[in-house]
Chains A and B, each alone.
Chain A
């Protein structure tokens, strides 16, 4: 491991930073959307559900290209964001947005399932005790859905670590700014004699993924154990 170049270390740290930022930023939206899909009845629910799942089934390149159109410097939202000083294209923040969008469907699926599995009667009981919808959500639904929320966050994080297609399309492959482990490996495979470097990063990538999976298993088991003790 010691023979990793500074550029490779940069790619590793950047990957982690992007994945963590993507997960944290999408968490509140993920919880809100999954709760809405699990519990609310509203017109256009099918459309919202399809829109959320779109990045899961579309080619990542298409998602990246759409992000470029919407959030690029001259895009509809991008021009507005640039005016208030937020530039996403070709920045690591843009990579985080791409990863968040790609991980969102996985995150929502896990969270939605856990919200759906909560006994509706518990939420009704909270209502009869005087709690409005917001308090019922904070005091009853959210804590009971916690294992699923953790699982969803970890799935989103894992997806963000491995994201390649949408990221490279949206923010390119700029060492030190948007070059993640995945895109660094891709770069090495494009140059003669780069296989050895690619292999080193591959090992790193496997190690990180493995550690993340083990950590997620531990965290989730703990949460489930706590809730199992309660039921």
Chain B
């Protein structure tokens, strides 16, 4: 577990954050320039905080007061950078094996072959990074960081430079790695979909400060929650159960206490729980039951509050339509 409470001032930017991660994936979420990557660099040891403490599994990595600063190569923290930063002069195999050299012997090592298999990079082993696509590079970078047997993995917007298809290809791989190798991950992203899908704990950063900490439902779901600062990312997160599919139309049936929703495309194994993001911009309110709609399902709902409180006589029942 990583625990930190650090502050750093760079020119006009002022970072002051404190949080600890949990098992699984902890996301650092926020807009560009909110200090996410800076926080990650502090954890990795690529930058020094002005003051504060960073601890990993109880071991002090940084202590400003006592002048402790553990060098990056002694921290056992793997980093997956946005631009992969693979070594151009080494083959994929040597890139992957780079960290193994320096990991302490005698500890149970993460198995090379199983990482290669999960990331599906077996065919790339003898190639050089120049001959890889963006998605392949990023998979190799993930494998390289994992194979140095880190106590903690840091992901710095690993998918930001990739197109949607590649993202959808790599996201399940990250989930598999999380489940199989049990290395805690701190995942920096400004993409709400990635964060909601992967993380069980979310630390929301804005302008160098922690705005909220909690699970996806708490952080994004609640009124006045962290998503409120963003104009476009007002969302609710709902836990739903996969309970059926329509193969002919490629639809997945999801159940929620409020009712059933059909989702386009696959959403996970039958019976599994999935997190569903409902964007505020996809919700329409109707005072009367809507009829003859081409898509979406109407649910009965109760309007609790509006932003300006201008509903003098709130209708008792409203229908929300989810365009999913």
Contact = CB atoms under 8 A, between A and B. Distances in A.
Contacts of A122: 85, 87-88
B103 interface: yes
Interface stretch (B76-84, B216-224, B245-253): B76-84
A119 interface: yes
B129 A128 contact: no
A132 B77 contact: no
B48 to A, nearest CB: 14
B: contact size bracket: 20 to 34
A140 B72 contact: no
Contacts of A129: 73, 78, 98-99, 102, 144-145, 148
B129 A230 contact: yes
Nearest to A130: B102
Given A130-B102, A229-B130, A125 B73 contact: no
Contact of B98 (A119, A131, A143): A131
Contacts of B71: 127, 132
Interface of B is mostly: loop
A121 B83 contact: yes
Contacts of B81: 121, 125
B128 A230 contact: yes
Given A124-B46, A132-B73, A144 B88 contact: yes
Contacts of B128: 229-230
20 contacts: A119-B85, A121-B81, A121-B85, A124-B72, A125-B81, A125-B85, A127-B45, A128-B45, A128-B73, A129-B98, A129-B102, A129-B144, A130-B99, A131-B102, A132-B71, A140-B87, A140-B89, A227-B88, A230-B129, A230-B130
Interface of A: 119, 121-122, 124-132, 135, 139-140, 143-144, 227, 229-231
